[in-house]
Each structure stands twice: as C-alpha cells, then as structure tokens.
Amino acid sequence: MDGAMLEFPSFPRYRLHAIMIAELNVEQARFNMVEQQIRTWDVLNQEILDLLYAVHREKFVPTAYRTLAFSDLEIPLGEAPSERMWAPRLEARILQELELKKSDFVLEVGTGSGYFTALLSRLAGRVISVEINPRLAEFGKGNLVAEGVDNATVIIGDAAGGRHQTAPYDAIVLTGSVPFIPQILLDQVKPEGRIFAVVGDEPVMSARMALRTTSGTFNQTKMFETCMAPLVNATQPARFQF
C-alpha cells in the first residue's frame, strides 16, 4: 500500500453539493416568504415569524406543488375550490390576530394539509381539527404525525355547526367562508374566547374576529377584505319564498 492512495466509498461530491444548494435555496425561499410577503402585511409578532421558520411548510404541500410552497398563492389540495392551502400571509395574519395562549383549546373547521393545524398546535395547548373530506383528513393527519405533532387530533366529520361533544373552546377557526357567523358556533365559545371567519358572499367578503365578552355578547372586528371558497354545509340565511 506504500505510495498508493486510499479510496473510501463515499457519497458522490456532486450529489452532496447539489443537496447543500437545494437546502440553501429552500431556506432562502422561506426567508423571502417571511420578509417579503408576511412581515410587509403587518405581521410583526416575532413569535409568529419564528414559528414560520420552525414549522416547515413545504412538508405539508402535495409533492406536485412543492416548488410553490413559499409562493403567495393558494395551493390546490384537490379539485374542489374549498380544497386549498391558504396563502402564507393569510395564515400568519390570522395566527397573529388570534393571540393564542398555551392554555387554549382550539377547534379548527377544515384540516386540509394539516399545516395550519400544526401552527395552531405550537401556540395552543390542544387542537381538534375536523375535516369533512376523508381523503384530506388522512393526508393532513399523516403530515401531522410525520412532523411529530402530538397535541392535535384530526377527526373526519362535518363541523360547519361546530362540535358540541368537546365544546366550549377558547378559539374556533373556520377555514372556509360563511354568509354570517351562526349562533350555533357562537354558543360554543368560552367567555373571552373568539371565532375567526371570513364572512360575506362573493365578491364582497371580509375577515372578521368575533370576541365573546364576559357578559356573553359578541363584538365583531373587521380585519381586512378578502375572498375565500365557501365552507362546506355552512349555515345559510333564510331566503324569501314567492
């Protein structure tokens, strides 16, 4: 072996270099998402900004759309308009407005990919997420398990009217729009609890936070204009019949 070069089986250098570049690109894309999309949309709570680095959004995105994980758009999860991941800035803004505490119990209506569920689980004590589409429920649950989320439970079912079995909640989040926030949901919120919902009919909708006072009344705050696909089986207002 004198004068001979020792050769060791090793990972090809070009592949290692490619992986390092890919990882750098992902982190740069994440940084751009936070700094260019989210911070500029009045999300300045450092805990929320840090959370967006800690929970890796790309791991919840369907493989076919993974290159769009950090883009300022809704990502399809299926064929129906309601089967979409929210745009990142919307997710961050809602989290900031919810002002969750570690003692909070949250109901999420619509699991989708499980990404927003994971974000909620980092801020709250316990999350129940109800998904009406069995395929999405399995997809979201699988993503949460893979990422080690252990304080969120995914249930297959229809929670357009809430979930009385485990009420009351400190916060309820509706991931689809509603014509109005029905009383059946308001009744499931604790005093000083809140409901986030996008309220209205296209093309005029607004994101709102309904806060329950200690006396049981609700104050609704309009946060910003937006449009969102309707919540499946949302309560509809009475219509005139002729």
In 3D space, the residue among 44, 95, 85 whose CA is nearest the CA of residue 209 turns out to be 95
Domain annotation covers residue 130: yes
**Residue 7: which pLDDT band, with cuts at 50, 70 and 90?**
very low
Residue 88 falls inside a structural domain: yes
Owning domain of residue 42: 17-225
pLDDT (tens digit per residue) in 90-114: 999 999 999 999 999 999 999 999 9
Residue 47: inside a domain: yes
CATH number at residue 127: 3.40.50.150
Mean of all residue pLDDT scores within the chain: 90
Number of domains composing the chain: 1
CA dist 130 and 112 (Å) reads 9
Q: Would you say 57 and 72 are in contact if contact means Cβ atoms under 8 Å apart?
A: no
Residue at 74 is within a domain: yes
- 102 near 126, Cβ under 8 Å? no
Residue 29 lies in a domain: yes
Report the predicted TM-score, pTM, of the whole model to 2 decimal places.
0.89
- Strand, helix or coil for residue 207: strand
In a domain, 234, yes or no: no
Helix (H) or strand (E) holding 93: helix 88-98
pLDDT, position 216: 85
Residue at 237 is within a domain:
no
Distance of CA 114 to the CA centre of its chain: 7
Average pLDDT of span 214-229: 92
Average pLDDT rounded to a whole number, residues 8-21: 45
Which tens digits make up the pLDDT trace of 137-161? Answer: 999 999 999 999 999 999 999 999 9
Q: Hey, CA dihedral for 140, 34, 208, 206, is it positive or negative? A: negative
25 falls within a domain? yes
pLDDT score of 238: 79
